[in-house]
Structure 1
Amino acid sequence: MRKSFILAGCALATGVAVLAALAMRPQTQSGVALPETVMVAPGQIAFRPLGNFSREGKASTPGALPVEVAGFEIMKYQVSRAEYLACVADGACEDVGTGEGGYAQTMVNWADATAYAAWFSRQTGETWRLPSEPEWQRAAAERQGDAAPDEGELDPGTRMLSQYERGVLLRGSSSPALRPLGGFGENSLGLADLGGNVWEWTDGCMATGRLAADGSIEASEPYCGVRIAGGRHRAAVIDFVRDASVGGCAVGLPPDHLGFRLVREG
Structure 2
Amino acid sequence: MPVRFIAAGFASAALVSFIQGFAPPPDGPETVRIAHASVAYREPGDFLRDGAPVNGPRREIRADTPFEIMKRQVTRGEYDSCVAGGGCRALDGGGDADLPAVGASFVDAMRYAAWLSGTTGALYRLPTDREWAIAAGTRFRDDAYTEVSDPKNPSKRWLALYDAEAAGEEAVDPTPRPAGAFGANERGLLDMAGNVWEWTSTCFVRHRTDSLTGAASEHENCGIRVAEGRHRAYLPTFIRDPKAGACSVGLPPANLGIRLVREERSGLDGLRNFLGF
Partner of 1:228: 226
| Overall identity of the aligned pairs, in % | 41
2:121 to 77, 101, 125: 125
Q: Which amino acid aligns with 1:219?
A: S
* Residue 110 of structure 1: how far off its partner (Å): 0.4
Q: Which stretch has the larger CA shift, 146-155 or 246-255?
A: 146-155
C-alpha distance after superposition, 1:105-143 (max 9, x if no partner): 011100100100001001111101000100000111111
Structure 2: which 5+ residue stretches go unaligned?
A: 1-23, 265-277
Q: Which stretch has the larger CA shift, 54-63 or 144-153?
A: 144-153
Partner of 1:203: 201
Once residues 89 and 162 of structure 1 are traced to their aligned partners in structure 2, the CA distance between those partners, rounded to angstroms, is 46
Partner of 1:12: none
Once residues 136 and 77 of structure 2 are traced to their aligned partners in structure 1, the CA distance between those partners, rounded to angstroms, is 24
The question of 1:83 aligning with 2:81 is answered no
The question of 1:52 aligning with 2:50 is answered no
Once residues 176 and 140 of structure 2 are traced to their aligned partners in structure 1, the CA distance between those partners, rounded to angstroms, is 19
2:32 to 27, 33, 38: 38
Where 2:248 maps in the other structure, the secondary structure is: strand
Structure 1 segment 1-266 matched on structure 2, within 5 A: 33-69=27-63, 70-97=65-92, 98-149=94-145, 151=147, 153=149, 156-213=154-211, 218-266=216-264
Give the RMSD, CA atoms, in angstroms: 2.2
Once residues 192 and 209 of structure 1 are traced to their aligned partners in structure 2, the CA distance between those partners, rounded to angstroms, is 33
* Residue 49 of structure 1: how far off its partner (Å): 2.2
C-alpha distance after superposition, 1:24-55 (max 9, x if no partner): xxx969xxx42111111233333222223321
* Residue 153 of structure 1: how far off its partner (Å): 4.6
Q: Name the TM-score, length of structure 2 as normaliser.
A: 0.78
Once residues 264 and 177 of structure 1 are traced to their aligned partners in structure 2, the CA distance between those partners, rounded to angstroms, is 28
Q: Which amino acid aligns with 2:28?
A: L
CA gap 1:217/1:259 in 2 versus in 1, 3 angstroms: farther
Once residues 162 and 89 of structure 1 are traced to their aligned partners in structure 2, the CA distance between those partners, rounded to angstroms, is 46
Where 1:140 maps in the other structure, the secondary structure is: helix
Once residues 82 and 135 of structure 1 are traced to their aligned partners in structure 2, the CA distance between those partners, rounded to angstroms, is 26
- Whether the 8 Å contact between 2:46 and 2:205 is mirrored in structure 1 is yes
Where 1:122 maps in the other structure, the secondary structure is: helix
Structure 1: which 5+ residue stretches go unaligned?
A: 1-26
